[in-house]
Structure 1
Amino acid sequence: MSVMEISAEIDPVESALLELARDYPTALVRVASLRAERRQHLLFGWVELFPFDMDAPPGWKAGKKPWTVPGSSGWSCGFSTHSTCATEAVRWYAQAAAGRVNVAVGAPAPAIAEERPVAPEPAWGRLAASVEAPFAMRWHDGPRVHRLVPMRRPSRPVHELGLIPQARQWLEEHLGFDPFAHEEWLCGLAMLAPDPVCASFEVFPSARSPTGGETLSVSAVPRRTAARTADMTTLTLHVVERRPGGWTSLQSVPLAQDGYASLPASQPTDRIGWALVCAERGLLRLSEPNPWLNQINVGMAMIGSTAKVEVPSGGRRKPAQDYEVPLRTMERSFVVGGPADDRARSRLIKLRGCRRERERREAARQHIFGLPSSKRTGQSRDVEAKRREAQDIIVNIVGQARRRLVFVDPFFGPREMRLFALQNPNSAVTPRILTGLPALKSLVGDQAGFQVQQGLQFAHDLKGLAAQLGPRAPQVRVMPGQDLPVIHDRYLIVDDDVWHCGPSFNELGERLGVIVCLPNPLDVRVMIARVWRDSRPLSGFIPTSAGSA
């Protein structure tokens, strides 16, 4: 990008941002960066604007020299803060938006980070309130935020830095948060602007009348210096109430210069939300509807003694051990405060909670199949019906695959392959089967003397399917571990989802079992992928003469 192009892009941006200078005379620019492979990489940076009643502190650095990244080849991390006027800070932010991020702010010579495209959010000239910013401090008291969102994935060095625990700890110590744990901020920039009018602001219930009414009070403290006091008369508070049955009221209250106001309500309020709007600056603060804390139940327990438990030996590899269990005594509880006298509201909250719990149970991605042992005896039709039901559940899950279909079961055989693995209609899906040696050793065939090992039948069947289906034919591998396969459990991977199945796929519905979709599938997929890589193809277990026969 040429200098002319940068200047053309900065001008309208600066004109929008420099409006902030009248409320924020000083600023602090904070930047964290990585130097790797002779390039600078931005990790995170932000401009912290200080209202007119505060002065920005002096700048500082994280050590005299950049921090050396352990185990790297000359990599280093730096963190610095630079105290400056708001005009210069805004200009640095505008240049960063145009692709020129100077990570050595205030240094004699600039150090420009690798250019990566960013996009503003919200648009220039606007700020977002009620933003969950992990770098915001308590005194900011819900600041407004503008951000520059990175439009590409982090570079390879930045990605590799996130795999080093010491580096993430170093960043958290100096940034105040770990940017690798907040992907939406990593490699981005932000500008943080506290409320320029109110030093503090609060809305709270202050009184209840004998007739059941309630009063909400507003307390606002203006920012002030010896020469200047913020004009509170430019502010209007909009208050909304949401009850269990829906939205019930919206009130607007202009604030006087003393910062106090009150709002009467005919009954105890429920969830109160509010927005503080300035006639000159727009939205300054916002609080989404939340209930008041009326009552606290506190429980206390003391540990008076311990009990020792001895675990016997389970063989050479499982030695005996013992441990102590703390025994709690003197359990007590007490209540602070009391519930609001609002029976209809309490009843609605309870009923809505019951509905949400029912919907949560109904939406749970799990299935139970099989019959209890007491109902299986002498009722073969019931058992067969449950077996069919379990098979239908698996077939329905298998049919949803669009990119990936993997069966993991130490006892998965050729029958299960034909029963489940061939049920997916998508031509882009090649079923993968990770089985175990016990499945190959078992015998198949109903007539004594004419039984063969299942592994031979498996290999013969795969050979025929390969000729028939081509690339869609299942791929079968045998996991390591010989007679004790390294994976004990049963899994079904469908695209990005991982289902955990209690029973083996060869006995679904015969006994009680559950299949559950795991909430964190990535770690399990990685584990299975590693075992698949270390496994041997089924053909490697079959003698050449048997395979050719």
Structure 2
Amino acid sequence: MIQKLKSYYKKAIRTTLLAQDKLTKNWYHLFSVIELLTDDEYSYNIPNSEWKDGCVRAKQSGLEGYSFYLSIDEIFSVDEAINIFNKPIESFVIEGNKISFINASFVKEPFGDYPLVFASNLYTDKGVASIVPKRKSGLLVWCQIDNERKTDKQFISSTVSKEMLAIQQLTMEWLGFDIIQKREHIGNIYLSAPNPYFREVEMSLSTNPTGVFYKILTRKKNFEPLKFRIIDKHGDAIALDKIFEIKDNAGLITLPHEPHLFEVRIYNQDDDLIAVHEPATFIRSIQFDMSMKQADFHVKVDTEKGNKEFVVEKFSKERPSVVGKTKDFNPEYYFKNADKERQHIELAERKEFIFYSGAKEEPEKTKLKENAKSIIREIINNAKDTCYLCDPYFSSMDIVEFAFQIKNSGVKINILNSKEAVSKEEAKKIATVINEYNSKPFGKIEVRILRGNSILHDRFIVTDKNVWFIGSSFNEFGNRATCIAKIPESSGKLIIKEIEKWYSSDVFSQNITDFANEIENG
């Protein structure tokens, strides 16, 4: 597709993050974006006097092996830019300097000739669109991914280094994003091109007749006919999906009903997707909530460090003010809202969130507690490799009730409790129970006890890469009002990292058998 569109572009600008080996003076590629530009797209300017020969260098204090640079240069032609993108290892040269690559290969995304198509990325802070130049027209983007992640591994470590801070400073100051936080882009090359047909499409609602007004802000060239595919969603269902021929740069598209949540996909006459407008709705009313500050409330409290005064601001009740006309009933969301009301049932069935309301009567308490135990056993029996059970109060009876119930003998069962919460006598009981279990051919249970004031407060279950939070100790779970919730995967990784650190480090914990032996020996 780029071969069909390349005639619309007149120049190519390359932005590259580079590392120079201080000893050999060799240059290495860390990240780059090649942008194709039309005649009327604003060009790059070297930002200020800090830039020399098209480069700016990171602060050098404390850097050992490498210096880091950000380079902006204009490539000789659009054809040459496309060739560099397609064959970077062979043809990446800046100001006569051959740029080397840590990685030996790339994988294209998308794999074929067609690009990723993005809406305007002016306010985007996620994904590929957040690291390429901001363009109101939307973007066509091709990617070359360092699939071996060799560049990432070479320059990014598990602990923050001066080199990482230098890279971070360059990208945050000049590119507007932190590549250390978005490390999936390190080592990659991107070919980015603004929509070649227009700068922007403006759309507004028409109520009589029903439809949408559009206005296409074309580039310098004459208007070229386009196709608008309008998809209107009502809840989870599609109420309209239709293609309209656009032969003028402004007009009205009549629709069978007022659009609710509609998306526009724009195609050229070759039926190539060249732009998208992400799902949006027209605003019919805006509500403002206003409140006035009444006073500062002063209160004095006796603390361990003496008398302390707190000041709390107090405001009047918010008074809503509505501009426009609101709907008393939204049929578009009627069915979806009904499903949302039942979502807690689905979450409970998937073991993602379960609330236990607690009870006062003993029979009901017992029933809830047994149900809660059953749920935990189901969760931990999904482990294929490793299961962590983390609770400061995890006892010998909890080991019997839960750890023993894991049926797969190949699962490593790791338990983390705390000296602060487990008595010396209980620690000896735990050691006895696990030693007896480990003497059998059922796999192995290991318990480590946290030292000193427990760093662990909440309770967690980890099964391989999945994490659950429990609102009470294992031995009380279900007895009183509490819940169990599955943690989102990205947040779960943070929890797993900390648990593994506490578990594996003698600074944080020790084997409970060793602790029990210390007790025995006085």
Query: How many Å separate the matches in 1 of 2:345 and 2:20?
Result: 50
Aligned with 2:72 (options 81, 87, 110): 81
What is the CA-CA distance between 1:393 and the residue it aligns to? 2.1
For the residue of structure 2 that corresponds to 1:503, the secondary structure is coil
Q: Which residue of 1 aligns with 2:499?
A: 528
Matching of residue 174 in structure 1 with residue 164 in structure 2: no
Q: Which amino acid aligns with 2:58?
A: W
Matching of residue 462 in structure 1 with residue 450 in structure 2: no
Q: Which residue of 1 aligns with 2:512?
A: 538
Matching of residue 283 in structure 1 with residue 273 in structure 2: yes
Q: Which residue of 2 aligns with 1:151?
A: 147
1:453-473 CA distances to partner (integer Å, 9 max, x unpaired)? 333333333332222137x22
Q: Which residue of 1 aligns with 2:12?
A: 27
Q: Which residue of 2 aligns with 1:446?
A: none
Q: Which amino acid aligns with 2:189?
A: L
Q: Is the 8 A contact 1:29 1:46 kept in 2?
A: yes
Q: Which amino acid aligns with 1:486?
A: I
What is the CA-CA distance between 1:524 and the residue it aligns to? 2.2
Matching of residue 389 in structure 1 with residue 377 in structure 2: no
Q: Which residue of 2 aligns with 1:202?
A: 202
Q: Which residue of 1 aligns with 2:115?
A: 127
Alignment of 1:39-50 (within 5 A): 40-50=27-37
Structure 1 residues 308 and 264 mapped into 2: Cα distance closer, same or farther (>3 Å)? same
Alignment of 1:107-256 (within 5 A): 107-130=95-118, 133-153=129-149, 154-160=151-157, 163=160, 164-165=164-165, 167-205=167-205, 207-209=206-208, 213-224=209-220, 229-233=221-225, 235-244=226-235, 246-256=237-247
* % identity of equivalent residues: 19
For the residue of structure 1 that corresponds to 2:292, the secondary structure is strand
Query: How many Å separate the matches in 1 of 2:341 and 2:10?
Result: 52
1:136-164 CA distances to partner (integer Å, 9 max, x unpaired)? 45544212112212212243233239934
Structure 1 residues 89 and 60 mapped into 2: Cα distance closer, same or farther (>3 Å)? farther
Q: Which amino acid aligns with 2:280?
A: N
Aligned with 2:410 (options 428, 432, 457): 428
Structure 1 residues 44 and 392 mapped into 2: Cα distance closer, same or farther (>3 Å)? same
Q: Is the 8 A contact 2:234 2:333 kept in 1?
A: no
For the residue of structure 1 that corresponds to 2:85, the secondary structure is helix
Q: Which amino acid aligns with 1:294?
A: R
Structure 2 gaps, min length 5? 120-127
Aligned with 2:388 (options 402, 406, 417): 406
Aligned with 1:352 (options 336, 343, 356): 336
Structure 1 residues 457 and 126 mapped into 2: Cα distance closer, same or farther (>3 Å)? closer
What is the CA-CA distance between 1:521 and the residue it aligns to? 1.9
Q: Is the 8 A contact 2:70 2:170 kept in 1?
A: no
- Give the RMSD, CA atoms, in angstroms: 3.2
Query: How many Å separate the matches in 2 of 1:162 and 1:492?
Result: 26
Q: Which residue of 1 aligns with 2:472?
A: 503
Structure 1 residues 200 and 188 mapped into 2: Cα distance closer, same or farther (>3 Å)? same
What is the CA-CA distance between 1:82 and the residue it aligns to? 0.8
What is the CA-CA distance between 1:95 and the residue it aligns to? 2.4
Q: Which amino acid aligns with 2:86?
A: A
Q: Which amino acid aligns with 2:498?
A: M
What is the CA-CA distance between 1:249 and the residue it aligns to? 3.5
Structure 1 residues 423 and 191 mapped into 2: Cα distance closer, same or farther (>3 Å)? same
What is the CA-CA distance between 1:526 and the residue it aligns to? 2.4
1:179-202 CA distances to partner (integer Å, 9 max, x unpaired)? 333355332111111222223322
Query: How many Å separate the matches in 1 of 2:272 and 2:30?
Result: 31
For the residue of structure 2 that corresponds to 1:293, the secondary structure is coil
Aligned with 1:490 (options 459, 471, 475): 459
Structure 1 residues 109 and 514 mapped into 2: Cα distance closer, same or farther (>3 Å)? closer
1:284-335 CA distances to partner (integer Å, 9 max, x unpaired)? 212244321221111122334211233321x4xx654333211223744322
Query: How many Å separate the matches in 2 of 1:370 and 1:413?
Result: 24
Q: Which amino acid aligns with 1:358?
A: R
For the residue of structure 1 that corresponds to 2:118, the secondary structure is coil
Q: Is the 8 A contact 1:422 1:431 kept in 2?
A: no
Q: Is the 8 A contact 1:197 1:230 kept in 2?
A: no
1:338-367 CA distances to partner (integer Å, 9 max, x unpaired)? 2479x6xx1341341231242156416233
Of 355-364 and 19-28, deviating more is 355-364
Q: Which amino acid aligns with 2:32?
A: G
Structure 1 residues 530 and 290 mapped into 2: Cα distance closer, same or farther (>3 Å)? same
1:487-534 CA distances to partner (integer Å, 9 max, x unpaired)? 233322222223233332233444443333333222222222222223
Structure 1 residues 82 and 361 mapped into 2: Cα distance closer, same or farther (>3 Å)? farther
Query: How many Å separate the matches in 1 of 2:441 and 2:290?
Result: 66
Query: How many Å separate the matches in 2 of 1:530 and 1:469?
Result: 28
Q: Is the 8 A contact 2:103 2:146 kept in 1?
A: no
For the residue of structure 1 that corresponds to 2:99, the secondary structure is coil
What is the CA-CA distance between 1:24 and the residue it aligns to? 0.6
Query: How many Å separate the matches in 2 of 1:92 and 1:277?
Result: 28
Q: Which residue of 2 aligns with 1:300?
A: 290
Query: How many Å separate the matches in 2 of 1:370 and 1:298?
Result: 36
Structure 1 residues 111 and 319 mapped into 2: Cα distance closer, same or farther (>3 Å)? farther
Q: Is the 8 A contact 1:36 1:76 kept in 2?
A: yes
Query: How many Å separate the matches in 2 of 1:267 and 1:439?
Result: 64
Higher Cα radius of gyration? 1
Alignment of 1:470-485 (within 5 A): 472-481=443-452, 484-485=453-454
Query: How many Å separate the matches in 2 of 1:439 and 1:333?
Result: 50
Query: How many Å separate the matches in 2 of 1:369 and 1:436?
Result: 26
Q: TM-score, normalised by structure 2?
A: 0.84
